[in-house]
Structure 1
């Protein structure tokens, strides 16, 4: 049975510490993800691991539909930053039946999130399809800098 995510003060402190390393570019494939709060309109920032495949990029929700997922769905836009660089993206939610390979690659890269998945890194992509509804995936499409997040 996969682990359930529970937000906590410790998690917020951990995210702040990880954020320092991410901003310095010391953690590969991890960026600071910024979404616009759907209720407050304020920018909210969290560390996020990105799956890259050539020219394509995906953002995976390892802990389920948490706040940034709802915000990305509402606005359709996110930004990623690292090492002083910021890129804006259109966030297109991928249908669950297309997420198997992305989720498999994600658990290979984001080792700390493996307990939140029932399938393992050695399973075929089809093993991830039954849990795709618990881990939304967004394809990230670059936007020009003047289109705001």
Structure 2
């Protein structure tokens, strides 16, 4: 997968807001993870429940479902394997090889969304 432009309607302004995100897949499902934590795009996506991913001239609408903290550990580990070179500084020493307990403890600080075609 790779980087995309995320477009999501602002929860207060109603204006479309954009930011770069790193999409990844696991077991045939696609995910977005917020390495900087509970950012504005996360708050907007929670309210909107849907958005658009853009790559060049292509765009795709999607529906987002937030992943429960208890189900994030494996997804965080996969994200770190793929994107730590770019976003590892935001994980405060956490790595793909960190103990399960450490990743589970950090999970509430890293929102994850499963995205499906919408």
State TM-score, norm by structure 2. 0.91
**1:121 is matched with which residue?**
96
Residue number among 46, 59, 81 corresponding to 1:108 in the alignment: 81
Does 1:138 pair with 2:101? Answer: no
Does 1:82 pair with 2:55? Answer: yes
In the alignment, structure 2 segments of 5+ residues that lack a partner are none
In the alignment, structure 1 segments of 5+ residues that lack a partner are 1-27, 144-149
Structure 1 runs of 4+ with >4 Å offset: none
More strand by proportion, 1 or 2?
A: 2
The alpha-carbon deviation at position 124 of structure 1 amounts to 4.8
**8 A contact 1:100–1:127 mirrored in 2:** no
The SS at the match of 1:52 is strand
Higher relative contact order (CA 8 A, sep 6+): 2
Q: Which has the larger radius of gyration?
A: 1
State TM-score, norm by structure 1. 0.73
- CA-atom RMSD in angstroms: 1.4
The alpha-carbon deviation at position 93 of structure 1 amounts to 0.5
Q: CA separation in 1, counterparts of 2:58 and 2:34? A: 23
**8 A contact 1:104–1:125 mirrored in 2:** no
